[in-house]
Structure 1
């Protein structure tokens, strides 16, 4: 293995260590990080010590670690980039949740993946809650991903499929589904990523028609299956249109 590849892998692993810390588990021991990432304890400890020296991680004592103060700067930089969109989209997500009755969410495109950045949870006792906020998800699975993929220029869409589809995949069926999504304006998925969960999503674009992400509703499949999906699709498209018109300044869309 050459030094460049080894260095890239070390950086990638250090980033994975940072993302081992979550809202549910804001502090971890080296053994817990090692278990989550498939490392030995000594390697995990070494990464934590290196990150602590940079201020991205801090030691709490008794062998526990947490994110350090320098991560606040990263959060502020990200908020400066997308904060207005995420905050303003909240009103549309609340309207969508109330109209459909299921959890609504905003997803942003990040290269060839998407991340969930905001959700408004359903009031049903049994409902979908995203536990992977900020985690990159592929564009091949789930209605939010397919809505983004269908809205991309065909050249970009084909380039992505060329690189990501397995040789055994039924590409023609997928491309036909993407064409249908593009035509009607919304995508639907059932148990694509999570068993028992369904989703309906519409793409989100800016004034230059660059695809920024998507908006969706998601809930238990058995409940979503009883809905009028055409009506749900119209509600999701309307929510995306409201964000585009009122937040992104896409003038030709209704408010």
Structure 2
């Protein structure tokens, strides 16, 4: 099991900023010693998940099969995409569903008509929860002690000049989001990104995910976005709750474990 955990850690260490890694890079980023990292890379290469090119390692296309298996097994396309397509068809821009993965949000579904330059959103992408509308929605619904632990460990980065990094203000924001039932952010994650999000609940009323509608800040008025899109987002969230009865595997796969 330790070998499996190390192998998964190696795969996850590759990202947009690190598409190619040396053995030393992998060891440093995973916290493994070089010998252990070498064994993990050798096994992953033998299984076809990584390749070595000029003494550097890259992910192989077979890695896509892991994510594709989840999308098929959880019926993500049938369960989530109809509502995302409906929102994008109605408002344009983009819409996504995400879950909380540690301090970050993890995209499990995404639909977009956007052409403007912005962070690359898509299935499997993660962003810091404190700077996103979906992250604030999900963080706000954690138990109070869990929120305090999160904030005590948080070292927020100033992603834009508008990014809120004051812990006290973030605590207040999460309290307000929990009370009002939605989160609206403007240029918190990156310049030009305005996003509105609401929670998705299971049949017992527990928050398991979040859904958003986002667009380009230069063309969106935050108050108008709230007026026009909040009710439709809440409708989509309610419909997805009902969809869970047909796709229990999806619900089990995204429901918080602790």
TM-score normalized by structure 1? Answer: 0.69
* 2:106 counterpart (115, 126, 130): 115
Say if 2:71 is the partner of 1:75: no
**Deviation by residue 1:97-147 (Cα, 9 ceiling, x = unmatched):** 12222100110222443201221112x543756346424433211111001
The residue number in structure 1 matching 2:250 is none
Long gaps (5+) in structure 2: 157-163, 247-258
* 2:49 counterpart (42, 57, 60): 57
The residue number in structure 1 matching 2:139 is 149
Long gaps (5+) in structure 1: 1-6, 250-255
* 1:243 counterpart (211, 225, 240): 240
The residue number in structure 2 matching 1:3 is none
- Aligned pairs for 1:173-184 (under 5 A) are 173-184=169-180
Question: How many residues align structurally?
Answer: 229
The residue number in structure 1 matching 2:80 is 89
CA distance, structure 1, for counterparts of residue 34 and residue 95 of structure 2: 37
Say if 2:97 is the partner of 1:100: no
Rg larger in structure: 1
| Change in 2 beyond 3 A, CA 1:169/1:244 | same
CA distance, structure 1, for counterparts of residue 106 and residue 225 of structure 2: 27
CA distance, structure 1, for counterparts of residue 190 and residue 98 of structure 2: 17
CA distance, structure 2, for counterparts of residue 21 and residue 169 of structure 1: 27
TM-score normalized by structure 2? Answer: 0.68
The residue number in structure 1 matching 2:255 is none
